[in-house]
Amino acid sequence: MAKSMSIFEITPERLAPLQSAAFSDHGIFERRDLQRLLRNQVDVIAPDVLVVSEEFGDWEESRRRIDLLGIDKAANLVVIELKRTEDGGHMELQAIRYAAMVSKMTFDKLAEVFQDYLVAQGRQEDARRKLLEHLGWENPDETEFAQDVRIVLASAEFSKELTSAVLWLREHELDIRCVRLRPYTDGAKVFLDVQQILPLPEANDYFVKIREKQAEERAQRSNVWSGLWFVNVGMDDSNHKAVDDAGRSYVRHWQHCATFGYLAAGGGLRWSGALKKLNSGDEVLAYQSGKGYVGYGTVIETARPIHQFALADGRTLAEALNQSNYNDGRSEDEWEYAVGIRWHKQVELSAARTFKGAFASTWVVCKLSDPETVRFLKKEFQIENRTTTEPALP
Q: In the chain, how long is the greatest CA-to-CA distance?
A: 77
Q: Which amino acid is at 96?
A: I
162 neighbors 149 (Cβ within 8 angstroms) = no
Q: Percent helix, strand, coil in the chain (nearest 5)?
A: 30, 25, 40
Which whole-number Å values give the CA distances from 115 to 47, 89, 112, 189, 208, in the listed order? Answer: 22, 32, 5, 36, 33
156 neighbors 181 (Cβ within 8 angstroms) = yes
DSSP state of 289: T
For residue 135, give every residue at least 6 positions away whose Cβ sits within 8 Å of its Cβ, in sequence order, or none.
71, 73, 75, 290
Residue 104, number of CB atoms within 10 A of its CB? 9
Which whole-number Å values give the CA distances from 153 to 27, 52, 156, 184, in the listed order? Answer: 21, 17, 10, 20
**Separation CA 366–CA 16 (nearest Å):** 53
Full-model pTM: 0.57
**Separation CA 130–CA 27 (nearest Å):** 35
> Considering only CA atoms, which of 145, 155, 21, 35 is closest in space to residue 83?
155
Query: What does the pLDDT profile of the chain (394 residues) look like in tens digits?
Result: 444 567 888 888 898 888 887 787 777 777 678 899 999 999 999 999 999 999 998 776 667 799 999 999 989 999 999 987 666 778 999 999 999 999 989 999 999 999 999 999 999 999 999 999 999 888 888 778 998 999 999 998 899 899 999 999 988 889 999 999 988 888 778 888 999 999 886 556 655 666 666 666 655 555 678 899 999 997 644 455 676 666 678 888 999 999 999 999 988 887 888 899 999 999 999 999 888 999 999 999 999 999 999 998 999 999 999 887 766 667 777 888 999 999 999 999 889 999 988 999 888 999 998 899 999 999 999 997 544 433 333 2
> Considering only CA atoms, which of 266, 174, 272, 221 is closest in space to residue 394?
221
DSSP state of 42: G
- In the chain, the domains with their CATH numbers are 14-199 (3.40.1350.10), 212-380 (3.10.590)
Q: Which amino acid is at 372?
A: E
259 neighbors 301 (Cβ within 8 angstroms) = no
